[in-house]
Amino acid sequence: MNAAEVAVLPPKDSLVTKDSIVASVRPIATVVPSDSIVASVVASFQQRSELGIKKYGVTLDRTDLGLIDWVQHTQEELMDAVLYLEKLKKTLSLTQNEGTSLQRPTIPSGGCSCSVSKTEGNVQ
């Protein structure tokens, strides 16, 4: 299955086999998002895919993993996500306890003299 195809899964009570999924693949149109948030997420997925291909030398089309392997990978990714969320919670809690505002600063009427580093996203 490539980026221009989608698998249409059979009804819930049907027996699902690899062959039935492969047989259900149908082409879909390429969607160009007009929503900037959606476009940003799509770009992030593309970058992530390219990074994964460079790092591991395979795509998600790989066939060397079984269902249990994919479940294991998913669990590990979700455990990482929970850790990141906990870190954010603690950081937000500390920030609120210190009375620090998380709101965007007001830009003076003359404009802002700061610059943003595109490579690191740091404000200077």
What is the average pLDDT across 9-38?
63
Q: How far is CA 120 from the centre of its chain?
A: 19
Supply the pTM of this predicted model.
0.49
What is the tally of helices (H) and strands (E) in the chain?
3, 2
Residue 115 φ then ψ, to 5°: -130, 150
Structure tokens at 112: 């802002």
What local confidence, expressed as pLDDT, does residue 72 receive? 98
Comparing 18 with 49, which gets the higher pLDDT?
49
What local confidence, expressed as pLDDT, does residue 35 receive? 87
- Per-chain mean pLDDT for the chain: 76
Structure tokens at 29: 């149109």
Contact 85, 94 (CB under 8 A): no
